[in-house]
Amino acid sequence: MLIRLTNVNKSYRLGRVDVRALDGVDLDVDRGDFLALAGPSGSGKTTLLNLIGCIDKPNGGRVVIDGVDVTAVPLHRLAATRRDALGYIFQTFNLIPVLTAYENVEYPLLLQNVGRRERDARVRRWLDQVGIAAQAKQRPDQLSGGQRQRVAIARAMVAEPKLVLADEPTANLDQETAAHILDLLAKLNSETGTTFVFATHDPAVMSRAHRCVRLRDGRIAEEARALVA
């Protein structure tokens, strides 16, 4: 078991009104899972992803990541967990515009103080793995949407995290490019054993997931598991 959420609640204050984003969520995620959190806007899937990613904290309940109850740790002390154990993929790519593809992928390793030779070897390996080695010296504004997302995937994987969180990773891609990106992510999940958790409303992502957990009004409404994972 990599992730366990127990009776998780999360509310936000909007003006004079408390809005409950999550209401008593229980969820287990196994190591090596390929899991989609699905639901319409406002269902709570991105909030849930942020709690798993140690970006936010619940108002109640427990979030345990790799045996550590992260709800008992102050947010500022979770920076090392986010840096070393988690990778992130965003729908807007979130690449640093002034850096090349190579430099964007290298950045997490600089934060980890990885030595230059190992850093170079790992960056080049992952650029090759995602099929973007030829664009290593190009900046994000010189790349297509699909190429930028491949750089983002390499950046998420280069530090060899146990868990990769992907928030609507296909939302800004055309259907064909999205299919290629999903093929790549499924391949990486199979070959590396890395756990992937997606927040999505894309039926293509849901159909490729080993498990699909649907949220409605901050609660888990249903769960489906693929017949063949």
**32: which 2 tokens?**
């090596």
pLDDT score of 190: 95
pLDDT score for 229: 45
Structural domains of the chain ordered from first start:
33-46+78-225 (3.40.50.300)
What pLDDT digit, counting tens, does each position of 8-60 carry? 999 988 888 888 999 999 999 999 999 999 998 889 999 999 999 999 999 99
pLDDT of residue 41: 87
pLDDT at 217: 93
**Is-contact 91 169, C-beta < 8 A?**
yes
Residue 66: phi and psi, rounded to 5, are: 50, 45
Please list the ranges in the chain whose pLDDT falls under 70.
227-229
Q: Sort strands 195-200 and 163-167 into parallel, antiparallel or unpaired.
A: parallel
- Return the pLDDT at 76: 82
pLDDT of 13 reads 84
Q: How many CA atoms lie within 13 A of 154 on its CB side?
A: 31
Alpha carbon distance 206, 209 (integer Å): 5
Which tokens in the block code for residue 202? 């894309």
Cβ neighbours, 10 Å, residue 93: 20
Give DSSP secondary structure letters for 79-117. HHHHHHHEEEEETT----TTS-HHHHHHHHHHHTT--HH
- Three-state SS for 166? strand
